[in-house]
Amino acid sequence: METWQPFLDRAVASMQRAYAPYSSFHVGAVVRDEHGQYHAGSNVENAAYPEGVCAEASAISAMVAAGGRRITAILVVGEGDALVTPCGGCRQKIREFAAADTEVAVASPNGVRRVFTLDELLPVSFGPEHLAD
Ligand code: THU
What are the tens digits of pLDDT across the range 37-74? 999 999 999 999 999 999 999 999 999 999 999 999 99
Please state the atom number of ligand 1 nearest to the C-alpha of residue 86: 6
Cβ of 55 closer than 6 Å to ligand 1, yes or no, is: yes
Assign residue 49 the CATH number of its domain.
3.40.140.10
**94 inside domain:** yes
Asked if residue 133 is part of any domain, the answer here is no
Catalytic residue among 34, 45, 56, 103: 56
Q: For residue 106, what pLDDT is reported?
A: 98
* Residue 82 placed within a domain: yes
Does the residue 41 lie in any domain? yes
Q: Which residues have a Cβ under 8 Å from the Cβ of 31 and sit 6 or more positions away? A: 38, 39, 56, 59, 60, 63, 68, 71, 73, 74, 97
Q: Domain for residue 52, yes or no?
A: yes
> What's the number of domains the chain is made of?
1
25 Cα: distance to centroid of ligand 1 (angstroms):
7
Indicate if 56 belongs to the active site.
yes
Mean pLDDT throughout 90-110?
Answer: 98
How big is the CA angle at 58 (ends 55 and 62), to the nearest 5 degrees?
Answer: 140
132 is a domain residue:
no
Quick: pLDDT tens for 26-36.
999 999 999 99
Say what the pTM is. Answer: 0.97
* Cα angle: 46, vertex 47, 48; to 5 degrees: 85
Q: Look up the domain containing 9 and give its range.
A: 5-125
Q: Is residue 62 part of a domain?
A: yes
CA distance 63 to 29: 12
Domain-embedded: residue 131: no
